[in-house]
Structure 1
Amino acid sequence: MAAIAPVGVRTGCRVIRDGDDAHLLPNEAHSIPARQPAMRRASGAARWIAHRLLAELGVDNVGILRAPSGAPVWPDGIIGSLAHDDDMAVAAVAPVGHISALGIDVEPAQPLPGDILALVTIPADRTDAADRHLAGRILFAAKEAVYKAVYPLDREVLGYEDIAVDLNAGHATTKTGRRASLAYCAAPRVVVLAFVEAR
């Protein structure tokens, strides 16, 4: 993950473990309505990573609350993103600067089921550069990461059909005209990082 991240962006990952819900700070735990133990463990694991990345930037003991939209609320001067699948949690953070928005997503390194692929793909998508077995999964993760990156900027709910991904060129464009750069790795998990450069 560190190899795909642009300069200034810090990333981390963690296998989700029993007891990871204990890593939630009290105010974080209060802001996360999920009662399912698996969801709270995943949220705790992602925030454990993010707290350590923030500490590297000199930001300590700050809760990353969950907004009503579901997005994490970052400290002033920081942008970031959290994600998890059933087994792995990931996070990316950066100081506000030449990058104005970040999104990250993680998925198993397995082909995307055909019914989901049909929902995600639009004619404008380009995935020729990706491993053909994982192209659908990378496409799915890319659209999730782009949405996380651009929502704080545009405050517009986007569907998969509203995001055109070009893995060949390494970027995506939303129906609002927002352009995000993409970087990804496909092993041992599919991780996609989307970022918007400041104008």
Structure 2
Amino acid sequence: MIRTLLPAYAAGRESTRDLTDPTLFAAERREVADALPARRAEYATVRRLARSCLADLGVPPAALVRDVHGAPRWPAGTVGSLTHCRGYRAAAVARSRDADGVGIDAEPCAPLPSRVLAGVTSAAERAHLAELGARRPDVPWCQVLFSAKEAYYKVWYPAMGSWLGFDDAEVVLEPSGDHGTFTVRPVSGGARRARRADAAFDPVATGFPALPGRWTAGTGLVVTAIAAPAGSLPRRAQAGRTATGTLRCAQ
């Protein structure tokens, strides 16, 4: 599934179960030493998948430890992304000469609770979802939109070094059966940002572009992917800035 969503220059691996006895580096073992067994299993599985992706690109295995915000650190000369949800784990990696960033996300193929939906979408997005739902009620459009924002953040954060709120980006989805494309763009004036300490931060002013991506839904899953070609992103224009109420990052 993940391979069909990525460009040819990116490597992708996935699994519908936790892999048996994946080897971890010492630094990785320390990160999950106190975690529950299920968390250790998913952590180890996505890293084994990621190292398989690195091998596909001719890159030696390396420890994939997390930064202070939970995002995995990739070996020099590579960019990548990890995702996991119930019944699915995946990794995607590309060389930095080919891509400035890669973001993937997987979610259960089910509608979002109304309270959650209101918290992660704008009024324009909810109108967009209603229109799509009238045309294709069999697709969990709200989950596709949520997943697309997660994938976008996984490209944004390594490039910009800052966090992004759900109302700092808007998604437009394009359907084609049980798969399709989407575009995510940064927006100014998010209602929730106005109540935060960094209200003056304008995602649009960073010059970070709208990015296209691909999605698929089926077998109980929604999966999304974005790859930003090399030279397409600004680099850490807002390094060090943080915010609350943001998209997830920890893998």
TM-score normalized by structure 2?
Answer: 0.72
Structure 1: which 4+ aligned runs deviate by more than 6 Å?
A: none
Of residues 177, 183, 193, the one that matches 2:225 is: 193
The AA in structure 2 aligned to 1:3 is: T
- Counterparts of residues 48-87 of structure 1 (less than 5 Å): 48-87=48-87
Note if contact 1:146-1:195 (Cα within 8 Å) is conserved in structure 2.
Answer: no
- Structure 2 residue matching 1:62: 3-state secondary structure: coil
Counterpart position of 1:17: 18
Counterpart position of 1:31: 31
Note if contact 2:13-2:92 (Cα within 8 Å) is conserved in structure 1.
Answer: yes
Note if contact 1:84-1:105 (Cα within 8 Å) is conserved in structure 2.
Answer: yes
Deviation of 1:135 after TM superposition, in Å, equals: 0.2
Counterpart CA distance in 2 for 1:27 and 1:77 is 20
Counterpart position of 1:118: 118
Counterpart position of 1:8: 9
Cα distance change on mapping 1:85 and 1:34 into 2, 3 Å: farther
Deviations 1:36-74 (A, max 9, x none): 222111111111110111011111221111111100000
- Structure 2 residue matching 1:23: 3-state secondary structure: coil
The structure with the greater share of residues assigned to strand is: 1
Deviation of 1:115 after TM superposition, in Å, equals: 1.9
- Counterparts of residues 85-164 of structure 1 (less than 5 Å): 85-125=85-125, 126-127=128-129, 131-132=136-137, 133-164=139-170
Deviations 1:151-188 (A, max 9, x none): 11112211111111111362101232322221111122
Note if contact 2:148-2:182 (Cα within 8 Å) is conserved in structure 1.
Answer: no
The AA in structure 2 aligned to 1:173 is: R
Counterpart CA distance in 1 for 2:102 and 2:37 is 27
Counterpart position of 1:180: 211
TM-score normalized by structure 1?
Answer: 0.89
The AA in structure 2 aligned to 1:196 is: A
> Which one is further off, 165-174 or 47-56?
165-174
Note if contact 1:181-1:194 (Cα within 8 Å) is conserved in structure 2.
Answer: yes
Cα distance change on mapping 1:18 and 1:96 into 2, 3 Å: closer
Counterpart CA distance in 1 for 2:172 and 2:70 is 27
Counterpart position of 1:171: 183
Deviations 1:115-137 (A, max 9, x none): 21111111343445685441011
Counterpart CA distance in 2 for 1:23 and 1:112 is 35
Note if contact 1:32-1:65 (Cα within 8 Å) is conserved in structure 2.
Answer: no
For the aligned residue pairs, the C-alpha RMSD in angstroms reads 2.1
For structure 1, the 5+ residue unaligned runs are none
Deviation of 1:5 after TM superposition, in Å, equals: 1.0
Counterpart CA distance in 2 for 1:145 and 1:77 is 20
